[in-house]
């Protein structure tokens, strides 16, 4: 079907992913370097145009894989960006997604046919990005902070479970606060379950391994 009114035409959807990790207490985000115009040579969030035969989230997952080699099975949308001039050549509506994984567990592709580099950047060291990606990233950071205290989004960071000390480190890194250990445990124990396993995380003493309680997707920490 063709739309008659030209005002309905020439619209596309950008899918943009802010993929975070935490390394040794530092929050980082994955950026890729563009090899094509527009914004050739600039760093950007992994992103691209959605196909008309895929769900938006699937487009985001596909683009993330194409631009970084990282294959996830879920991302969560956080906001739509629709400024008229956000893309220079064509009216593109941007849909932003956030995800969080442990960077140690993935291998990132440094080059693809549209990117010449890829790396994890600390949040106080973000270069000027392509498109409106600096703005998108800022919203993504705020939304990540909100989601870790209201949802179990961190389970993608800990596919094999976590000890309470390492979970606390991730919370403290992302929220940029210090949390009392005993109070943290008290709150968390409402939404996580003991796996009955123990592991060595940092110390010499073994720590109990927990996972998020599947029945409690909506949580409320702090």
Residue 40 or 181 with smaller CB distance to DNA = 181
DSSP label at 56? Answer: H
Q: Using N-to-C axis directions, what is the helix angle for 164-175 and 181-188, rounded to 10°?
A: 100
Which chain residues interact with DNA by CB under 7 A?
163-166, 180-183, 185-187, 198, 200-208, 220, 222
Could you identify the residue written with the tokens 């409690």? 216
Rounded to whole angstroms, how far apart are CA atoms 160 and 67? 26
Q: Say which entry of its own copies, DNA, none residue 77 contacts (CB below 5 to 8 A, set by partner kind).
A: its own copies
Rounded to whole angstroms, how far apart are CA atoms 28 and 19? 8
Q: How far is the CB of 212 from its own copies (least distance, A)?
A: 22
Q: How far is the CB of 196 from DNA (least distance, A)?
A: 12
Residue 122 or 200 with smaller CB distance to DNA = 200
Sequence-ordered list of residues with C-beta below 8 angstroms from that of 14, at least 6 positions apart, any chain? 47, 48, 49, 50, 81, 87, 92, 93, 94, 95, 131
Q: How far is the CB of 180 from its own copies (least distance, A)?
A: 23
Residue 40 or 91 with smaller CB distance to its own copies = 91
Q: Say which entry of its own copies, DNA, none residue 106 contacts (CB below 5 to 8 A, set by partner kind).
A: none
Sequence-ordered list of residues with C-beta below 8 angstroms from that of 30, at least 6 positions apart, any chain? 19, 20, 21, 45, 46, 68, 70, 103, 108, 118, 119, 120, 121
Which chain residues interact with its own copies by CB under 8 A?
1, 3, 5-13, 49-57, 77, 80, 82-84, 89-91, 93, 95
The answer to whether 18 touches 137, Cβ cutoff 8 Å, is yes
Residue 17 or 27 with smaller CB distance to its own copies = 17
Q: How far is the CB of 89 from its own copies (least distance, A)?
A: 5
Q: How far is the CB of 213 from DNA (least distance, A)?
A: 16
Residue 3 or 177 with smaller CB distance to its own copies = 3
């Amino acid at each position: 079907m063709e739309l008659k009114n030209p005002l309905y035409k020439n619209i596309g959807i950008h899918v943009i992913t802010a993929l975070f990790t935490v390394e040794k207490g530092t929050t980082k985000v994955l950026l890729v370097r563009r090899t094509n115009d527009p914004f050739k040579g600039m760093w950007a969030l992994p992103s691209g145009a959605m196909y008309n035969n895929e769900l938006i989230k699937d487009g985001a997952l596909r683009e993330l894989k194409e631009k970084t080699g990282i294959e996830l099975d879920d991302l969560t949308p956080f906001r739509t960006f629709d400024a008229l001039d956000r893309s220079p050549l064509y009216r593109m509506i941007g849909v932003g997604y956030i995800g969080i994984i442990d960077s140690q567990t993935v291998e990132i592709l440094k080059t693809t046919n549209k990117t010449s580099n890829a790396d994890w950047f600390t949040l106080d060291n973000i270069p000027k990005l392509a498109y409106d990606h600096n703005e998108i990233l800022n919203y993504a950071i705020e939304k990540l902070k909100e989601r870790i205290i209201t949802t179990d989004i961190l389970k993608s960071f800990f596919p094999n479970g976590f000890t309470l000390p390492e979970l606390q480190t991730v919370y403290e890194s992302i929220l940029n606060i210090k949390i009392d250990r005993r109070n943290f445990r008290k709150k968390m124990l409402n939404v996580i379950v003991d796996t009955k396993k123990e592991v060595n995380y940092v110390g010499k003493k073994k720590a109990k391994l927990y996972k998020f309680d599947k029945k409690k997707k909506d949580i409320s920490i702090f």
